[in-house]
Amino acid sequence: MKGKTILIVEDEPSIAEVVSLYLKRADFKVHHAGDGLAAMAYLEKHIPDLIVMDIMLPELDGFGITRWLRERSQVPIIMLTSRRDEIDRITGLELGADDYVVKPFSPQELVSRVRAVLRRAAQTEIETPAAQPVSSGGLSIDPLSRSVTLDGEDLTLTAKEFELLYLIASHPNQVFNRNQLLDRVWGESEYIDPSTVTVHVRRLREKIEDDPSSPTRLITVWGVGYKFVP
């Protein structure tokens, strides 16, 4: 989860500052917009990994931004509401916010919510039923039935091996580093040993490579991570 970009949309400098501080300490990259228009200007050019958004903002409020944004992106949104009014929370969630936090809140709690929403988003991405099958040089991966065949033969993969293979194979030639793979495949459990990825890659190679010691599909990019070569 390290290095993910969070956009904070908050007009109150003291709150924006404290939230930025805690998120940066948790190794997130943080961008701050002080009003609705600044947020839109940023979002026209960048899509962050998550948005923490105040509802009451000058120019354009958090509901307006969410409505506008949901037509173009499913980026996770956590709303900050200073009102006790339940209507605000319901409106926010109906418009497509993923979670809300009521002011005043503990910054540490907000960081936990951010992590939880990001984990959920990563999970949804992997499990999305619209996921397309991948077929490459005799290897076929079907995300719906979660089955893998090699030259017509069924392969038996564990759940994590399958998720890892599908994630990499559905993004051919894209290099994934270990942290990205840990986040997206093991996101639910915080304290996984990073060597878990290495072990799973080795097991996958034994199953999908003709010669696991000189792989042609699941390639190591030295010093960076792994990629799938179709």
Residues lying near Ca ion in the complex (CB under 5 A): 11, 54, 56
Name which of 54 and 183 has its Cβ closer to Ca ion: 54
Residue 218 CA to residue 2 CA, distance in Å, equals 24
Name which of 8 and 114 has its Cβ closer to Ca ion: 8
Q: Measured from the CB of residue 55, what is the shortest distance to Ca ion in angstroms?
A: 7
Query: Which phi-psi region, left, alpha or beta, contains residue 108 (left: φ > 0; alpha: ψ -120 to 50)?
Result: alpha
Q: Measured from the CB of residue 79, what is the shortest distance to Ca ion in angstroms?
A: 11
Q: Measured from the CB of residue 54, what is the shortest distance to Ca ion in angstroms?
A: 4
Q: Measured from the CB of residue 43, what is the shortest distance to Ca ion in angstroms?
A: 18
Q: Measured from the CB of residue 136, what is the shortest distance to Ca ion in angstroms?
A: 50
Q: What's the token pair of residue 122?
A: 């990563």
Residue 61 CA to residue 105 CA, distance in Å, equals 20
- Of 14, 23, 1, whose CA–CA distance to 111 is shortest? 23
Q: Measured from the CB of residue 12, what is the shortest distance to Ca ion in angstroms?
A: 5
Name which of 12 and 209 has its Cβ closer to Ca ion: 12
The 134-136 sheet, strands edge to edge: 134-136, 139-142, 147-150, 153-155
Name which of 105 and 219 has its Cβ closer to Ca ion: 105
- Please name the amino acid found at residue 155: L
Name which of 103 and 115 has its Cβ closer to Ca ion: 103
The 50-54 sheet, strands edge to edge: 29-33, 5-9, 50-54, 77-81, 99-102
Name which of 83 and 146 has its Cβ closer to Ca ion: 83
Residue 155 CA to residue 158 CA, distance in Å, equals 10
Residue nearest to Ca ion (CB): 56
